[in-house]
Amino acid sequence: MGAQSAGPLVVGVDSSTQSTKTLVVDAETGVVVARGQAPHTVSDGEGKESDPRQWWRALGEALAQCGDAARQASAVSVGGQQHGLVTLDAAGAPVRPAVLWNDVRPAAESERLIAGLGGAEACAERLGSVPGPAFTVAKWAWLRANEPAAAEATAAVRLPHDYLTERLTGEAVTDRGDASGTGWWASSTESYDAEVLARVGLDAGLLPRVARPGEAAGTVHAGDLPLPKGALVAAGTGDNMAAALGLGLRPGRPVLSLGTSGTVYAVSTHRPADPTGTVAGFADARGDWLPLACTLNCTLAVDRIAALLGRDREAVEPGGGAVVLPFLDGERTPNLPGASGLVHGLRHDTTAGQLLQAAYDGAVFALLQALDRVLDEDAAADAPLLLIGGGAKGTAWRETVRRLSGRPVVVPAAQELVALGAAAQAAGLLLGEDPAAVARRWGTDRGARYEARQRDTAAWERLAATLADGEALLRR
């Protein structure tokens, strides 16, 4: 904190599942002059819900930690966890807690919707994605079926980042990146899909307008945050799209993000349409695409298994033949919403450290299995993986990715890439520049490079066989 700045200041916000992070950044140089972070809570049990009001409170707390720097900002932008269903009443207050991306309760509604739209292939061609339980459309259908009074009382439907942008500006605005994770925005037409909306009984009038890339959402009108009134507010975007901006990502460069969710993605110039549903055909926050696969069980699942074993998260040991599929919350990639964790291959001589390593392997395997589908002709086969998210700070995570991918890995020195990407979007708006070009000027993708290691094909094959043989259990 407290670094000198030369240019105007911008604020980038990352409102993710576990916390809100804010960065105040020099728009010219990319120097981070102040940072803040405040936690959120997510409900325990079958569902995953958060009260949107705590995101607003956390935003205020994180900005307050930035001190005077935030009060001097000329522009702001919000990146947020994707897909969450925020339902507001006529006064703009939440009707109920938001249903989050990792809530698998809408599995049956998702299946019905996909069938009604002509099956997975037709969905992928039309929408860009097969709308699994993560997608907002499935969550809305679940709400209507299970809490009709709450659906009836809803006067506005928002995504997490739109909710915050609207409280900042008073404007109901989203962007194509986050909209592409709803399931009611079709990538084939780049607009809301009237048939999908009709199928789930959602009035398009309840949705925000979709800003064009580079367009402003408005200006700060809220008086209860330490931000200057009148500062420009960019449209914001989903957290993965924001991280892509934050890295100044060029087409074909693969990213692996280890956070509450695990994600693998790359910017593409081709509109994705994966009929298997493994790859979501998201739009990016500019004019391109962001094919992406996402797992529900990443850092939290492995940390939970480390805690069960009574070990530090770095206390892994090599060897042994145990396999852990750490699907504690059900899983999205592979699509096994009802799954729980599965352990196979335990022997008398299996150590706790080997079991922990097997949990890392299982989490990384699920992501890497999807990587080949994510990458298209824009991608070089030996391109290094950019490793980001909280887990990228961990040696065990990094070494597992190297061992199972056989690819070089680059860990950018810049850590909060979602918030940096939001800051780049704000700077782009302020300076009239492409936000990805801003991030490249800031040099955000520079970091330590780890050369390719020989791929551990034996571990990979054990994992693949356990996943195939365990299918009946995992589908239960």
Ligand X SMILES: O=C(CO)[C@@H](O)[C@H](O)COP(=O)(O)O
Which of 70, 89, 76 is CA-nearest to residue 168?
Answer: 76
Contacts of 80 (CB under 8 A, 6+ apart): 13, 14, 15, 16, 55, 159, 160, 161, 162, 163, 164, 178, 236, 238, 239
User: Long-range contact list for 471-474, CB < 8 A, 24+ apart?
Assistant: 473/342, 474/325, 474/327, 474/331, 474/336, 474/338, 474/339, 474/342
Shortest Å distance, C-beta 40 to ligand X: 10
Say if CB 11 and CB 63 are below 8 A apart: yes
CB of 207 to ligand ADP, least distance (A): 26
161 among annotated binding-site residues: no
Q: Choose among ligand ADP, ligand X, none what residue 163 binds, the Cβ cut-off being 5 to 8 Å by kind.
A: none
To the question of whether residue 82 is assigned a binding role by annotation, the answer is: yes
- Long-range contacts made by residues 17-20, C-beta under 8 angstroms, separation at least 24? 17/42, 17/50, 17/81, 17/100, 17/101, 17/102, 17/259, 17/260, 17/261, 18/42, 18/260, 19/58, 20/55, 20/58, 20/59, 20/61, 20/62
Binding mask 337-356 for ligand ADP (x = CB under 6 A): --------------------
| CA-to-CA dists, residue 203 to 93, 108, 116, 210, 407, angstroms | 19, 22, 19, 15, 47
382 flagged as catalytic: no
Closest distance of CB 262 from ligand ADP, Å: 9
Using CB under 6 A as the binding rule, the residues of this chain from 284 to 323 that contact ligand ADP are: 299-300, 303, 313
Contacted by 456, from ligand ADP, ligand X, none: CB < 5 to 8 Å by type? none
User: Quick count: other Cβ atoms within 10 Å of Cβ 335?
Assistant: 18
Q: Closer CB to ligand X, residue 42 or residue 108?
A: 42
Catalytic residue among 239, 288, 361, 445: 239
Calculate the alpha carbon distances from 49 to 64, 94, 282 in Å.
Answer: 26, 12, 23
Interface with ligand ADP, residue 259, by CB under 6 A: yes
User: Rounded CA gap, 225 and 76, in Å?
Assistant: 12
Choose from ligand X, ligand ADP, none: what does 183 bind? Cβ within 5-8 Å by kind.
none
- Inter-residue contact 375 to 272 (CB < 8 Å): no
Instruction: Return the number of the residue (30 or 259) whose C-beta is nearest ligand ADP.
Output: 259
Q: At what angle do helices 239-246 and 417-431 cross, to 10 degrees?
A: 70
Shortest Cβ distance from residue 186 to ligand X (Å)? 17
Instruction: Pick the closer one to ligand ADP by CB: 218 or 262.
Output: 262
If one asks whether residue 260 binds ligand ADP (CB under 6 A), the answer comes out as: yes
391 binds, among ligand X, ligand ADP, none (CB under 5 to 8 A by kind): ligand ADP
> Would you count residue 263 as binding ligand X (CB under 6 A)?
yes
Binding marks (x or -) toward ligand X, 52..91, rule CB under 6 A? Answer: -----------------------------xxx--------
The interface region with ligand ADP, picked from 15-23, 129-137, 230-238, 318-326 by CB under 6 A, is: 15-23
Residues identified as active-site: 239
Q: Where along the sequence are the contacts to ligand ADP (CB under 6 A)?
A: 16-18, 259-261, 299-300, 303, 313, 389-391, 393-394, 397
Q: Would you list which residues are annotated within the binding site?
A: 82-83
Q: Where along the sequence are the contacts to ligand X (CB under 6 A)?
A: 16-17, 81-83, 101, 134, 181, 238-240, 259-261, 263, 280, 294
Q: Would you list which residues are annotated within the binding site for substrate?
A: 82-83
